[in-house]
Amino acid sequence: MSGQTHLDRDGAIARVRFDNPAAHNALTHQMWVDLHDICVELASDPSVRVVTFRGTGGKAFISGTDISGFADFASGADGVAYENEIDIFMRSIDKIPATTIAIVEGWAVGGGLNISSACDFRIATPSAKFGSPIGRTIGNCLSSSSYARIGGAIGVQIAKRMVLLGEMITAQELLDSGFLYRIAEPEELDAVVEAVVHRAAENAPLTTRTTKEAIRRMTFDNLPDIQDLIATVYGSNDFRRGVQEFLAKTKKTPIWSGD
């Protein structure tokens, strides 16, 4: 897979774009690394007031993560290391002190759900769908930080539907629940986004920074250590079977054995 994560600056406004349309903007490892570096750069620049995140092509925000590397996992320790690395990447978004906005067209799945949940606001087109059907695809799990981030933003019951039932949730339902700030038709999306961007940019920066950091601490401080649970999942035969089926593109839900 190839792909890039781009940064464009317009004064106090920064725009991050995920560019891998051939794979519906699935994130390669290098795209994750570049995202982390961009977010660290933006977090250290007090002139930045708003950061937007958007996928290229209009058909997907982010459809997930490139999991081809999972085929080389030999034990649960590999899964723990992977989730720890994802936590490092995600924390770089959490720590941006400016207002963050996800612009979602099409699919926001897996890593796309996580990244959109990390943002302060989400604006989507009517066709957007959100989910994390890991229990029906490769049979892995998330870190405690990812569960806290997604559950806190989207609500525990909807998050359970996504993971335990593998449901994809529509934009309208997530607007009704409060997860989405607005739904905008494709031809109106840019204008709606710009109105929110400029309103956020006018806010007192110290108020924004302090509020975001207080919420971040309340969400992530003192989370339980679940690395033993992560190791059990990533070290399982079910996980290995799920990865094999996924990479073989059989499009079948694996028969899980629970071991």
The three-state (H, E, C) secondary structure of 117-135, written as one string: HHCCEEEECCCCEEECCCC
Q: Are 51 and 12 contacting, i.e. CB atoms less than 8 angstroms apart?
A: no
Distance of alpha carbon 63 from alpha carbon 84, whole angstroms: 21
Element (H, E) at 102: strand 99-104
Find the helix packing angle between 144-154 and 111-118, rounded to 10°: 60
Q: 28 with 2: CB under 8 angstroms?
A: yes
81, pLDDT greater than 80: yes
CATH of the domain at 152: 3.90.226.10
Residue 205 domain-assigned (yes or no): no
Average pLDDT on 253-259 reads 91
Total-model pTM: 0.96
State which residues form the domain around 122. Answer: 4-186
Q: Give domain status of residue 240, yes or no.
A: no
Contacts 24+ apart (CB under 8 A), 209-218: 209/97, 209/98, 212/96, 212/97, 212/99, 212/120, 213/97, 216/94, 216/95
Is 247 within a domain?
no
Residue 159 parent element (H or E): helix 156-164
Q: Quick one: CA torsion of 71, 135, 125, 175, rounded to 10 degrees?
A: -150
- The mean pLDDT of the chain is 96
CA torsion 99-100-105-106 (nearest 10°) is -140
Share of the chain above pLDDT 70, in %: 100
Distances (CA, A) of 67 to 9, 27, 33: 31, 9, 15
The answer to whether residue 245 sits within a structural domain is no
pLDDT in tens, 44-56: 999 999 999 999 9
- Per-residue pLDDT, averaged over 90-103, amounts to 98
Q: Is residue 214 part of a domain?
A: no
- Which of the four pLDDT bands, split at 50, 70 and 90, describes residue 249? confident
pLDDT of residue 253: 83
Number of domains in the chain: 1
71 has pLDDT over 70 = yes
As a whole number, mean pLDDT of residues 144-157 equals 98
Residue located via tokens 């094999």 = 244
Q: Is the pLDDT of residue 26 over 90?
A: yes
Per the structure block, which two tokens stand in for 123? 């604006």
Q: For residue 60, is it within any domain?
A: yes
Of 38, 29, 41, residue with least CA distance to 3: 29
Residue 207 lies inside a defined structural domain of this protein: no
Residue 1 has pLDDT above 80, yes or no: no
* Residue 115 near residue 93, CB atoms below 8 Å: yes
pLDDT band for position 250 (cuts 50, 70, 90) = confident
Is residue 197 included in any domain, yes or no?
no
pLDDT, tens digit, for every residue of 103-141? 999 999 999 999 999 999 999 999 999 999 999 999 999
What is the enclosing helix (H) or strand (E) of 53?
A: strand 50-55
